Amino acid sequence: MNDKGIRIEGMRKRYGSGDTAVDALKGVDMHVAPGEVVGLIGPSGSGKSTLLKCLGAVIDPTAGRMTLGGEVIYDEGWKVSDLRALRRDKIGFVFQAPYLIPFLDVTDNVALLPMLAGASNDEARARALELLTALDVQHRAGAMPSQLSGGEQQRVAIARGLVNRPPVILADEPTAPLDSQRAMAVVRILNDMAQKFETAIIVVTHDEKIIPTFKRIYHIRDGVTHEEAGEGREFA
């Protein structure tokens, strides 16, 4: 069994207890290989956000097992003591809105993560510029977030998610605020980056435009996932 990338088995999450307990996740199984981009789709209330928060080590699952880059990080309890460092070093986040830090310029928005991990300012900025160049926004390196277009902001957010070379990126509705053309551009970038950096990317989305681009899709309904093959359509 290839445990590289991210793998979860039998993940459960229960909110509350007794008669008022709600099972948001009822045994989720999922595996995303390095370099792969999969879609996670489902109606509101199906458990998408809960699954994302469990994968992002933001909330504690009730039961299950999770490996990340071959390392068991959860098995009926967290196996790492510092979840903050786990999120910083092993998990990249791309949000529905870019949520860039408004008082940092583009370079420092991206370089902040390596700096938090202990990299020197010069080294962190060099890594940030490398990614900004790969995402074709290096010309806006000194701009403030408010000076960027929506598409540029989202590319900077992707660069921030990738800068620490995490084995997995969790993208929460990354194309929601974008038009079709920019949405497809973002998906293309995610695929390119997944392959370039051997990163597993999970894209939570409702966006009908991009769903056909995934080769594999996890449907989640009532806290249970079902895997199916996607169309894997070429980008327009």
Partner 1 sequence: MISLAGRDILHAWGKFVFTGFGLGLLIGVTLVMAGVYRGMVDDGKVLLDNSGADLWAVQKGTLGPYAESSSLNDDLYRPILAMPGVAAAANVTYLTMQVRKGEQDVRAMVVGIVPGDAWGTPGWPSHLVSGRQITRGHYEAVADLAAGFRLGDRIRIRRNLYTVVGLTRRMVSSNGDPMVFIPLKDAQEVQFLKDNDAIWQNRRRTEADPAFNRPGVPGLLDAVIASQSTNNYVNAVLVRLKQGAAADEVAASIRRWKRLTVYTRPQMEEILIGKLIATSAKQIGMFLVILAVVSAAIVAFIIYTLTMDKIREIAVLKLIGTRNRTIAAMILQQALALGVIGFVVGKITATFAAPLFPKYVLLMPQDSMAGFFAVLAICALASVIAIRLALKVDPAEAIGG
Residues that bind partner 1 (CB under 8 A): 44, 48-49, 52-53, 56, 58-59, 84-85, 87-89, 93, 95-96, 99, 101-104, 108, 111-113, 115-117, 121, 144, 160, 172-173
Phi, psi of 81 (to 5 degrees): -80, -30
Query: Which CB sits closer to partner 1, 78 or 99?
Result: 99
Report the nearest approach of partner 1 to the CB of residue 212 (Å): 23
Report the nearest approach of partner 1 to the CB of residue 134 (Å): 19
Query: Which CB sits closer to partner 1, 52 or 158?
Result: 52
Q: What is the arrangement of strands in the sheet containing 6-15, beginning at the earlier edge strand? A: 22-32, 6-15, 63-68, 71-75
Query: Which CB sits closer to partner 1, 122 or 234?
Result: 122
C-alpha radius of gyration, the chain, whole number: 17
Q: Are strands 216-221 and 37-41 parallel, antiparallel or unpaired?
A: parallel
Phi, psi of 128 (to 5 degrees): -65, -45
Query: Which CB sits closer to partner 1, 73 or 236?
Result: 73
Report the nearest approach of partner 1 to the CB of residue 156 (Å): 13
Query: Which CB sits closer to partner 1, 85 or 236?
Result: 85
Report the nearest approach of partner 1 to the CB of residue 232 (Å): 26
* Distant-in-sequence, close-in-space partners of 109: CB < 8 Å, separation ≥ 6: 100, 101, 145, 156, 160
Report the nearest approach of partner 1 to the CB of residue 97 (Å): 8
Closest by CA to 78, choosing from 98, 58, 97, is 58
Residue 155, classed as helix, strand or coil, is helix
